[in-house]
Amino acid sequence: MRGLNSVLGLFITIGGALLLGGFTILLLGGDQRYGGPVFFGWDRVYYGGGLISIGSVVVYISLRKLKRTGVNVNNIMMCPRCGEAYNTDGMLDCKCPVCHVVLEDIKGFYKRHPEYK
Ligand SMILES: [Zn+2]
């Protein structure tokens, strides 16, 4: 999980850089440090807008992926009686709130209880 998140963080950084570059081109025509405007007229809109849209897509996808992997799968446990999955985050005891039986690790659960497959 940690490794994936750092890759996503890198993608968000790249997306942010693309967005920044896009806005620089759109508003200033290029980075002033490299001898002033490089792009003029509609070129600014095309290149700037292009970079901004690519940057937005990269950031958007990365954030969505990040959100999905944000759920800690290790906290998901299964009820052997009703077959429901519960997130034990914030639970005082690892018991099913409906059946009041001790929840089981999701790992290998379907092997032990093939009837819930
Ligand atoms: Zn249950």
77 alpha carbon to ligand 1 midpoint, in Å? Answer: 11
111 alpha carbon to ligand 1 midpoint, in Å? Answer: 18
Confidence tier at 1 by pLDDT (50, 70, 90): very low
Across the range 6-27, mean pLDDT stands at 91
Residue that has been written with the tokens 């897509």 in this structure: 57
Pairing assessment for the beta strands 85-87 and 104-105 based on DSSP bridges: unpaired
CB 77 within 8 A of CB 104: yes
Q: According to the model, what pLDDT value does residue 18 have? A: 96
pLDDT single digits (tens) 47-103: 999 999 999 999 999 888 877 665 555 678 999 999 999 988 778 788 999 999 999
CB 51 within 8 A of CB 18: yes
